[in-house]
Structure 1
Amino acid sequence: MTSRYIAIDWGSTNLRAWLYQGEQCLESRQSEAGVTRLNGKSPEAVLAEVTQNWRDSTTSVVMAGMVGSNVGWKVAPYLPVPAHFSSIGEQLTSVGDNIWIVPGLCVSRDDNHNVMRGEETQLLGARTLSPSSVYVMPGTHCKWVQADAEQIHDFRTVMTGELHHLLLNHSLIGAGLPPQEVSSEAFITGLDRGLHSSAVLPQLFETRASHVLGTLPREQVSEFLSGLLIGAEVASMSDFIAHEQAITIVAGSSLTSRYRQAFHAVGRKVSAISGDTAFQAGIRSIAHAVAN
């Protein structure tokens, strides 16, 4: 018998929920009640609101993301890598009757200290839908993951998305700028600079100087900065990827396009899969197993 189950992506600022019957999504809902925006409500109360009329005593709930962090509902311990993909769904943390949180992953070595939450669930889905040996997962904190068909071996994090936001909104680079516009030309110019110069720190101030002196349109600073940072990220992580390794980008369409351009500029072919599609496939595989 195929049971109903609920899959939830519960992050810092938002919550998304899907009601499934086997492989079929019956309904989806979303809320702005991320774990840092509960506004005095308990996680139990928020879950009850979001899943109203969805649950009975047999309906399992599987949640991933920051809900399992030290600012979430309950800490779901990190699994150290190397970790088998199968172990992610086998070491869930219970927070109620048939309510579970997916563990995160961690690396703790002298040369690398890293954690992830939520991306491990995307990896589960991506592994099935777009098998690779390297997964690049852009976002606020971009994850670069080494894996094979059975295990996650290593990963690193690059704070490209957060750095772009901070520089544009809370530094001299973005001070006094007009509304920003899309410009593929400015992005490609920044990308070329980032890919071909390891000295990205001096170039950050040059971004400011360029628009002050009029050589960079003030409406295109965001695009140039995006290209510069993504180019620098891909260049700096080149040693993480062997030449023969297959690469899959796991992201939304906009970020996928930007990273695809960066990889193509250095002669690397990549596959891509939607981050949402990967997440739902991953958490569905866990929830389906729990429900049955």
Structure 2
Amino acid sequence: MTSYIAIDWGSTNLRAWYYRQGECCDERRSEAGVTRLNGRTPAEVFASVTDGWPVNELPVVMAGMVGSNAGWLSVPYLSCPVALNEIASRLTRVEDKAWIVPGLSVNRPDNQNVMRGEETQLLGAAQLAPGTYYVMPGTHCKWVRAEGGTIADFRTVLTGELHHILLKHSLIGAGLPTQRPDVQAFQAGLETGAADSSLLARLFEVRAAHVLGSRPRESVSDFLSGLLIGHEVALMAKEFMQSAAQPLTVIGGRSLAERYLSALKLVGLPAQWLDGDRAFRHGMRSIADELDH
């Protein structure tokens, strides 16, 4: 069984795992994402987070924004459609210290998209939960279509980022008290967003509803979340998915994944959940296995 080091290096955080004979014997976390280096170089952060690990003896594989033009080294994207089994053979070496996984891209007149980090989750998901469609919630949610081990197409929806911007930097969230969980508000938002294509017109109503006293001011965040996710899922089910015959897989943390599972159920799409960390680590293991051969 392979011994290796895997690093998930994103914009704001970094996670690293040391595996010996297939078993994780140490795990480390850092807030030194590529946008939070605080004056240090990526090489210095790498040395700090792997201190004491046998980085000169084992394969070290990194994925995520570390391979972007804002990261350690700008690694070219692989253009879709692309076979997932090509990823392990298209790694880029950085300073004789580690390998960086390439991201994926789509560059067509009707769709221009990129991803970094999610491709490694997809590599793991293809083995743990093989299927045709994957939804990957997050700040920038990815909707992915696979065909027999090949990533055929994907799109990105900025639902998470839009929720944050509207709540923190727009009139919608101005002057609100601390928000509290509200399942009913979220569900109401889901139903509204999924049923109404006029999302732009609905957004101001999020503010008007609490100003007029018809919705608790503490529940605005959950209603807005439901509104955006409901609209996203209904739109993508119609515009992106060619068939709903097979269950799709939601890849991510449980809390956010459950919101998407609720939205998918509302629009009549069967779905299953796969933990994002599990998918990522499984994908990294498959890459490390290839390097070991």
* TM-score, length basis structure 1: 0.97
Structure 1 residues 223 and 58: alpha-carbon distance in aligned structure 2, compared to 1, 3 A threshold? same
> Identity over the aligned pairs, expressed in percent?
58
Question: 1:187-266 counterparts in 2 under 5 A?
Answer: 187-239=186-238, 240-241=240-241, 242-266=243-267
Question: 1:8-157 counterparts in 2 under 5 A?
Answer: 8-157=7-156
Q: Distance in 2 between matches of 1:212 and 1:171?
A: 15
Q: Distance in 1 between matches of 2:42 and 2:66?
A: 9
Superposed displacement of residue 116, structure 1: 0.2
Q: Distance in 2 between matches of 1:205 and 1:213?
A: 12
Q: Distance in 2 between matches of 1:154 and 1:39?
A: 36
Measured against aligned partners, the alpha-carbon deviations of 1:214-269 in whole angstroms (never above 9, x if no partner) come to: 10100000000000000000111123111213300001111111111111111111
Question: Once superposed, what is the RMSD of the aligned Cα atoms?
Answer: 1.1
Q: Distance in 1 between matches of 2:151 and 2:110?
A: 17
Aligned partner of residue 173 in structure 1, secondary structure: helix
Query: Does the aligned pair in 1 maintain the 2:81–2:151 contact within 8 Å?
Result: yes
Structure 1 runs of 4+ aligned residues shifted over 6 Å read none
Structure 1 gaps, min length 5? none
Superposed displacement of residue 148, structure 1: 2.4
* TM-score, length basis structure 2: 0.97
Aligned partner of residue 237 in structure 1, secondary structure: helix
* Higher RCO, 1 vs 2 (CA within 8 Å, ≥6 residues apart): 1
224-233 or 46-55, larger mean C-alpha shift? 46-55
Q: Distance in 1 between matches of 2:237 and 2:277?
A: 26
Query: Does the aligned pair in 1 maintain the 2:121–2:279 contact within 8 Å?
Result: yes
Question: 1:166-185 counterparts in 2 under 5 A?
Answer: 166-185=165-184
Aligned partner of residue 173 in structure 2, secondary structure: coil
Superposed displacement of residue 98, structure 1: 4.9
Q: Distance in 1 between matches of 2:147 and 2:276?
A: 19
Aligned partner of residue 172 in structure 2, secondary structure: coil
* Counterpart in the other structure of 1:288: 289
Measured against aligned partners, the alpha-carbon deviations of 1:21-64 in whole angstroms (never above 9, x if no partner) come to: 13211110011111111111111111111111111532111000
Structure 2 gaps, min length 5? none
Q: Which amino acid aligns with 1:121?
A: T
Query: Does the aligned pair in 2 maintain the 1:144–1:157 contact within 8 Å?
Result: yes
Superposed displacement of residue 291, structure 1: 3.4
Q: Distance in 2 between matches of 1:70 and 1:224?
A: 36
Measured against aligned partners, the alpha-carbon deviations of 1:136-170 in whole angstroms (never above 9, x if no partner) come to: 00000000000023200000000000000000000
Q: How many residues align?
A: 291
